[in-house]
Amino acid sequence: MQNSGKLCGIDEAGRGPLAGPLVMAGVVLNEPVDGLDDSKALSEKRRETLYMRIVEASIWHIVSFDAQTIDEKGISACLIEGLKEIMAAIPAGSYLFDGNTTFGLPGLRCQIKADMQIPEVSAASILAKVTRDRIMQALALQYPAYGFEKHKGYGTKAHVEAIATHGLSPVHRRTFKIKSLQQPSLF
């Protein structure tokens, strides 16, 4: 399908957590979706409802990188690879990434807080966040000692304490250092 005049909004979820994947989404809206906003400003229930509506009203593509890939390639390389994949998968007139860098990719623009201002980027933010949250819920069942269902892998006090008690799980990012746990045996 040709989308030559359309904007593809791109956003990510999970750039900074200690565990779990980086998830990126690109969205071209074929029709307006009411209630879009930055995924972090919406309740989990509202995000889930909007997720289904976005999927129905758009052309979209989601890319995910697990913790091992992030450790092997680095977070920036994963972001670049994800941006390239989304841009190849979704033909559009222009591409807008939430944030402050295009990583030098031709045809890509960036805008800080685009996820709060541009509907296509808000939609991408929601798809990325809901997808990542669903993955973290599944990982919580596999690794119940870490409480992933609560903090989604971010470096909360409870999560750091769980790492101190149980060590790192296979879904933790080993290249993401925790200052309070700088012990050679953990990394």
Average pLDDT, the chain: 93
Q: Which segment of 59-68, 118-127, 158-167 scores lowest on mean pLDDT?
A: 158-167
Identify the band that residue 5 occupies on the pLDDT scale cut at 50, 70 and 90. confident
Whether the Cβ atoms of residue 137 and residue 145 lie closer than 8 Å to each other: no
Whether the Cβ atoms of residue 19 and residue 154 lie closer than 8 Å to each other: no
Which tokens belong to 72? 């092997």
Taking only the tens place, the pLDDT of each residue in 17-74 is: 999 999 999 999 999 999 999 999 999 999 999 999 999 999 999 999 999 999 999 9
Amino acid 91: pLDDT: 95
Identify the band that residue 4 occupies on the pLDDT scale cut at 50, 70 and 90. low
Amino acid 180: pLDDT: 67
Higher pLDDT, 185 or 108: 108
Provide mean pLDDT across the span 104-132.
97
Identify the band that residue 183 occupies on the pLDDT scale cut at 50, 70 and 90. low
Domains parsed from the chain with CATH numbers: 7-134 (3.30.420.10)
How far, in Å, are 73, 138, 150 from residue 114 at the CA level?
27, 29, 27
Amino acid 115: pLDDT: 96
Degrees to nearest 5, angle at CA 158 with 16 and 145 = 95
Provide mean pLDDT across the span 139-153.
96
**Cα dihedral 150, 21, 130, 52 in deg (nearest 10):** -150
